[in-house]
Amino acid sequence: MFRTSLRRTLVGLAAVAAMATAALAGSGSAAVAAPSDSPKAAAVDSARIKAAAYKEAARIKAAGGVTTLATYPSVWTLSKRDTTYDGGCDATTSVSYYPANDQAVMRTTITDPYWFAACRVNARLWINTNGGSFPSAVNYAMACAVTDASCASTQTWTGNYYGATPQLTAYVDSVNAALVSMGLPPTYTRAQAVTGISITHSKA
């Protein structure tokens, strides 16, 4: 009986430890995993965003100020196709991203090769910066099975998203705050922050 009680106690402690580890892994102190075609990961909590922003502000100051930064496009465009996501589903997403107003126009075409199973996808846009890759808009798409008469097995879903990258805005605000603390004007913009965009497809 004592051994049974001891075993239950140890199992309980192990379960609590596992839950605590899982909670920490899912908390805001962890970094968002970068997509496979993106070089960096962005922190989700404000402390890490501010740390990355201060580093960027220091780089700008060393380079002679915001006016020395290269001119980046007013719109970023990208298209990505996945033919093996979720087995054999075929998804292609095209994106036009406008940094000035944090607008993403997304178009996802999905083709279902299965006879009896639907294909669903979440197309995620990522905004890449020197401070990390920030998660942005998600465009959902679905296509019916080949034998399903209720809808087509190839479908296109579009979305127009505004303000979908709040962490990018927070990052830019933090860079400007750091610039002010260094005696420089707060003229850093989203357009100057963005270095590229990425797309990932995942099962919806």
- pLDDT tens digit sequence for 178-198: 999 999 999 999 999 999 999
* DSSP result, the chain: -HHHHHHHHHHHHHHHHHHHHHHHHHSTTSBPPPPTT-S---BSSHHHHHHHHHHHHHHHHHHTSGGGSPPPPSSEEEEEEEEEETTTEEEEEEEEEEGGGTEEEEEEEEE---SS--EEEEEEEEEEETTEEEEEEEEEEEE--TT-TTS-SEEEEEEEEES--HHHHHHHHHHHHHHHHTT------HHHHEEEEEEEEEE-
pLDDT computed for residue 42 by the predictor: 45
pLDDT for 111-134, tens place per residue?
A: 999 999 999 999 999 999 999 999
pTM above 0.85, yes or no: no
Q: What is the pLDDT of residue 86?
A: 81
Low-confidence residues in the chain, pLDDT < 70 = 1-45
